[in-house]
Structure 1
Amino acid sequence: MEPSIFLDFHLPNAATWLYFSLILTLTLFFQFARPFCVRNLDLLTLFLLSPGFLLLQEAHHYLDVGRTERGERELILGYSWLLAGSAYWFVRSVIDIGLVRRPSVSPNLTTAGLACLGVAMFVGQASVALRRTSDPSESVQVGRRPAPIEQVRGQATAVVQQAPTEAIQSASPDDVRFWVERALCMACHAAVVVALLLIGVQHFQDRAAGVGMATLYLLVPYTAFDIGRQLHHVWPTAFLVWAVYCYRRPVLSGWLLGLAAGTALFPALLFPLWLGFYARRGAGRFARSFLGAVAVSVGITGLVTTGWSGDATLGIATTLSLPDWQPWKVPNAESIWTGAHWAYRLPLFVLYVAFLVGVSVWPSPKNLSHLISLSAALLIGVQFWHADRGGVYVLWYLPLLVLLVFRPNLSAAEPPTWEPSAGLVSRIAGAAWRRVRPARPEPPHQLAV
């Protein structure tokens, strides 16, 4: 049975989507009354990395048709463009520490209109993600999947195939794997959108900003370029954005960030920064929750893998053994560092570690704006020395850039001061003690003279 013509929905090609999304972004969010403000510059430079993606797409086309020389030249140019754009946003994220006065954002469309556009865009992109095509370029993943995500994805496919439904049992493993990956990917995008909305409503105290951030996340071309195909890009980011939303609860934030770090390596690089954020305000609880979540995540991955395939290889150990994350080895994955000597990449890694240590202790104390901007800077900094297509992992930090663009003055948004009686265990123990302790006799009432 052939599908209906009304369901044959296609997004435009990458270049067309870039131009249309740029026009829509300027129409919806550009402040025409203040054309030279910082937010207008941020909106324009959000698209700074897009030409690099187009160059990489063209380079792979030339390599596929046999024009190797031009294809390799385009690859170098594309990755150079991406790293140059990443350098701009790295500097912009660091400078954001000193930008305290932030006027509120007034979108050029009503909140209801923005919400309608955002829902329509999510439905349209989901229909594209869940559509099978014969184009081989749409089935190529960008970068290696982390071992835990790859292992659990494979076992989830096996579980779905063993379901009693006849339609599922008759499907091929590739079809089941396709539906599992695409459904999980769109669920992660939905989680990011909801987290951005709630951060705007609760922490920014601006419903229009929350709806605008959710819409902008779906509008920028990086989400559409990777829609449905890059689960390993957006899976850890969903946990990270929800950790930002729960920043006033160190235990919950620690668990969310730990789960992200247990399935992908890069969120673990944020641990020192977040520990400094909670210094003397719940750092111990955050650290214990983070380490516990990492252990649980790795343990569950190992149990699932051992139970289904008999292979107990730890995902984090496998990831760390790759030259992509070891700057003292010669990389062989596609990137600007392919085949380069370690002496060129190692100094960048040393500078990154120094920056990581520095922002962990300064500024002190930190507020939510510092946490957002420095987390974005750390994830952008990984792109410079990560040897597996470094520069293309924009979805790692894209929600943080959206928060950075829309955020108001957050100088008062700090983690709450912890009191000894504020914890759940302390409250339970106090209630139990009040039940079992003997009642004190009331003093006799004295008669008034």
Structure 2
Amino acid sequence: MNHILPDYYVSEATWFYLSLLLTLAVFFRFDRIASLRNLDLLLLLSISPGLLFLSDNPVLGNIWLFAGTGLFVIRMSVDCFFQRRPRGEQNLNSFGMAFLCISIFAFFMVRVFTEKPAAETIQTVKQADSLLSMEDVTVDQKQEIQEAGPTARLFAAPVVPLSSAVAQSSLDPATLAARIMAILAHAFVVVGLIIMGRVHFADTQLGLAMALLYLLLPCTAYDVSKANHVLPAALLVWAFVAYRQPILSGIFMGLACGAMFFPVFLLPLWASFYWKNGLKRFVLSGSVVAIVLLGSLVLTSVDRFSFTQQTIGSIDWSVLKFEGGQQMPGFWSAYDSAYRIPVFVGFVLLIACLTIWPRKKNLGHLMSHTAAIIIATLLWYPQQGSVYLLWYLPMLLMVVFRPRLLHTIQSKDVDRNQESVEKPVSRHQDSVNIVRHTS
């Protein structure tokens, strides 16, 4: 890439300042300073300095990120109380935002191909290669690298032969495949956000706004090569896109649970959302995905011990035992692990409350509660928990930009073809989208 952009490099601090100015110029409502949109923007921008502090002052950086994560949990938990959500126009039209999205994504591609891929992504690519050749992956397995679930290797399986075919002698095929995975993962998020705005928010401009802010925020640029952390969020975005179809939504949710551990905590919430209207189809499709993922592990296991190592042995049980203390980097490295116990108890209570209340949920409740649970996971997760902003960023943006969503109770006897979505009459009126459950 040096012959295309000689000596191309943008430091993290420089990207933060550029992102700050562009975000304020495009999204900040200067005509209405005291607005919910401006508050959310300030929260999103205020957490980024914590990532910069990690290199020079890790203690301050971890405290900064932990405090910002706590504020996000509170914001997402009380989102349903903000009933009035007047439409806020962006300071740039749709064509301008589309141009910025394409331009920033192009720079991300350059960055992905010029920096070294994450070690976890390289390991996932090697596991995908073992899956295609049906080799045992437990041989010479490096336990110090945190593994992703079987979904990541299935996602990488089609990329491995492609990278092997096009890779030159000077380029490692595994490195090329890891870079392609990172680009595809971010592309899935961007496209999913745009479709979410067009289909469920009845406004393509909102979809472009969510995609643009996702690309603009510094945390996306800092971890642009970490495909394993982007993939679960991408699958969750598409679960929201397909939420009217419980079967498709269950498939995406099952794949997300197989990519990382944290989507598992969302299952009670989503089950309560589909409780009387599609729960069986949601559970059935998710179960089929789980069987397929377990089958992929069988293909790379030579015996029962190997299969056990890939399913149970790869899980860091010390996280659940609240052990590790000083050995785990992050906010909790400076404190005894016992202090995480009340935080985890509060996390469980939060899941219970958001699952039970309100009894009849609409899409707005599902989005904000999903984001709250994912963000709350980072408060007790010891291994650099608050650093993983990409786990919840797409869902957080959907909550920030969503219009007012009204839920209409639907009878099971209503024909699906009679469902309708009420779109805004005018772009200058409040966006009201009548969201219905699938019969």
What TM bracket, shorter-length normalisation?
A: 0.7 to 0.9
| Cross-structure match for 1:184 | 181
**Is residue 222 from structure 1 mapped to residue 219 from structure 2 by the alignment?**
yes
Identity among equivalent pairs (%): 35
Pairwise mapping of residues 273-352 of structure 1 onto structure 2 (< 5 A)? 273-300=269-296, 302-306=297-301, 311-313=306-308, 315-324=310-319, 326-331=320-325, 332-338=327-333, 340-352=335-347
State whether residues 250 and 285 of structure 2, in contact with CA within 8 Å, keep that contact through their aligned partners in structure 1.
Answer: yes
TM-score where L is the length of structure 1: 0.80
Change (3 A) 1:11 1:111: farther
Change (3 A) 1:413 1:249: farther
Pairwise mapping of residues 38-437 of structure 1 onto structure 2 (< 5 A)? 38-58=36-56, 74-132=57-115, 144-148=146-150, 163=164, 165=165, 168=167, 170-171=169-170, 175-228=172-225, 230-300=226-296, 302-306=297-301, 311-313=306-308, 315-324=310-319, 326-331=320-325, 332-338=327-333, 340-412=335-407, 417-419=411-413
Find the residue that maps to 1:411 and give its secondary structure: strand
State whether residues 148 and 316 of structure 1, in contact with CA within 8 Å, keep that contact through their aligned partners in structure 2.
Answer: no
Change (3 A) 1:369 1:320: same
Residues in 2 aligned to 1:159 and 1:116: alpha-carbon distance in whole angstroms: 32
**Is residue 17 from structure 1 mapped to residue 15 from structure 2 by the alignment?**
yes
State whether residues 254 and 290 of structure 2, in contact with CA within 8 Å, keep that contact through their aligned partners in structure 1.
Answer: yes
Q: Match of 1:86, as an amino acid?
A: T
Unaligned runs of 5+ in 1: 59-73, 424-449
Q: CA deviation at 1:342?
A: 3.6
Q: Match of 2:405, as an amino acid?
A: L
Q: Match of 1:183, as an amino acid?
A: I
Residues in 2 aligned to 1:419 and 1:412: alpha-carbon distance in whole angstroms: 17
| Per-residue deviation, residues 323-377 of structure 1 (Å, max 9, x unmatched) | 23x1433343212223744421112111111111121111110011111111010
Q: Match of 1:290, as an amino acid?
A: G
Change (3 A) 1:91 1:177: same
Change (3 A) 1:247 1:86: same
Q: How many residues align?
A: 392
Q: Match of 1:108, as an amino acid?
A: N
Q: CA deviation at 1:56?
A: 1.0
State whether residues 155 and 305 of structure 1, in contact with CA within 8 Å, keep that contact through their aligned partners in structure 2.
Answer: no
Change (3 A) 1:204 1:349: same
Change (3 A) 1:54 1:149: farther
Residues in 2 aligned to 1:295 and 1:370: alpha-carbon distance in whole angstroms: 30
Q: CA deviation at 1:48?
A: 1.9
State whether residues 66 and 331 of structure 2, in contact with CA within 8 Å, keep that contact through their aligned partners in structure 1.
Answer: no
Q: Match of 2:324, as an amino acid?
A: V
TM-score where L is the length of structure 2: 0.82
Change (3 A) 1:95 1:12: same
| Per-residue deviation, residues 43-67 of structure 1 (Å, max 9, x unmatched) | 1111122111111122xxxxxxxxx
Q: CA deviation at 1:78?
A: 1.3
Q: CA deviation at 1:107?
A: 0.8
Q: Which has the larger radius of gyration?
A: 1
Change (3 A) 1:410 1:10: farther
Change (3 A) 1:132 1:290: same
